[in-house]
Amino acid sequence: MKKHWDNPTEHAMPTHARVPAEMRIGGVRIAPATVLAPMAGVTDTVFRRFIKNASVFTSSAASDADASLGASLSAGVEQATTNQQSGCGLIMTEFTSADGLSRMRESKRKRYLTYYDDEHPISAQLFGSNPQTLADSARICQDSGFDIVDLNLGCPAKRVVACNGGSGLLRDLPLIATIFEAVRAAVTIPFTVKFRMGWNDDQIVCVELAKLAEKCGLNAVALHARTREDGYSGQARWEYIAQVKEAVGIPVIGNGDVRTPEDASALVEQTGCDAVMIGRAAPANPWIFRQIAQYTAEGRYDLPTEQDRYRMIRTYFEMLIGELASEEAADANVDQARQTREGVGKMKQFASWFTHGVPGGAALRKAIYEAKTGASVLGAVDGFFEARFSGISIDEAAEKAQAEEEVLASTAAYCD
């Protein structure tokens, strides 16, 4: 996924619109009306819970300590949050292959469908092209306790499109209709679809597709206002979201180029959409949902400090290490060496997102990329920020922090 935007439009503060306080998808209440977009390789259970914690908003009427931007992170990942407290109303899983899910052993399915109680409401997103397989997989998601099941008709990746999945299906509306009917008949939980405008500018089908979804009993639609051919380039064309909203009576979720609270409000103002979905902006600015909630309540929002960014980076990495440890404890057959490589790889992947806007972030990214273990990654993070806060050299701070992490790790292993 492209991490940056092409000449992003700067929206002024809208005067007549804010992100709605809530919306309903079937019987599921989404409050506020903000959605974390499903992103492959990003929205696993660790990142989803991380966003939930980073998004908790307390109005200015509360104490300064509770209202501070970093309070939710420093409170720790165990803090329970509810939908009513969170600035992110709905979170979604990474898209999952329906074909793969239907063939997996139940034990392996858990890896793809893992979620925790504090993630509700949560939607499971599927992709595929076989109506019966998608129906069977939707039933698996329902039986696993998901609140909503969603069909991906938006992914532009060549590998997915080659299998007639994702946005590849936008060229075959009759098959989409068959899929809609099969999945709708298979589950009783709300069923939604996320799609793009069409395959290319000569094949714009978003209005027709939205009408088809409503006719087949889907409970909401989400439109990423680009074509498959656009990928993530150029500007999202919000006018098509407005056309879809005008064409159907079910909730419409707008998606594309929402980077700030001003963007979110402008999207609502220009399209009348019922909710705002945010993708790329969330890894770069995990506070985006919190900022939208604050902006909606107070007409202003706080920007993160360096201390907030330090807590944010460290909290995510600690959560990731903790999740890997939990998986190892639950399954004695886990390949620990492979899992360590995957965990460190995930940290390196997110380093480029999280260090966006951090002065001297290139040095931190370099240190993380060179790290071989979770402890050394945390040591690099601690060393970098300790150097910035105290004025000592980065190398000296990193050596000190890594030594402390290794001592803690060995002590924990001894205690176990």
Residue 72's pLDDT is: 39
Tokens 């506020």 — which residue?
Answer: 32
Judgement on whether residues 157 and 281 belong to the same structural domain of the protein? yes
- Whole-prediction pTM: 0.84
Tokens 């938006």 locate to 154
> Considering 298, 326, 345, which residue would you say is the last residue of a domain?
298
Q: Tell how strand 28-30 and strand 23-25 pair up.
A: antiparallel
- CA atoms of 81 and 78, how far apart (whole Å): 9
Verify whether residue 415 is a known catalytic residue: no
The 10s digit of each residue's pLDDT in 50-104 is 898 777 766 554 434 344 434 433 332 233 444 555 689 999 999 999 998 888 7
Does 341 share its domain with 288? no
Q: What is the pLDDT of residues 363-381, one digit of tens each?
A: 888 888 888 888 888 888 8
* Mean confidence (pLDDT) of the chain: 84
Give residue-wise pLDDT tens across range 191-229. Answer: 999 999 999 999 999 999 999 999 999 999 999 999 999
Residues 288, 314: one domain?
no
With cut-offs at 50, 70 and 90, classify the pLDDT of residue 387. confident
Q: Please identify which of the residues 155, 206, 216, 273 carries the catalytic annotation.
A: 155
Phi, psi (deg, nearest 5) at residue 252: -120, 125
Token pair 């959409």: residue: 273
- Asked whether the beta carbons of 96 and 43 are under 8 A apart, the reply is no
When divided into structural domains, the chain yields a total of 2
Using the 3D structure, point to which of 269, 298, 327 is the last residue of a domain: 298
Its domain, for residue 282, covers 23-298
Q: What CA–CA distance (Å, rounded) separates 180 from 185?
A: 9
Tokens linked to 88:
């992110």
Length of the chain: 416
Indicate which CATH number applies to the domain containing 118: 3.20.20.70
**Consecutive H or E run containing 232:** none
Cis-peptide, bond into residue 20, ω within 30° of zero: no
C-alpha pair distances (Å), 279 with each of 75, 129, 206, 401: 25, 24, 20, 33
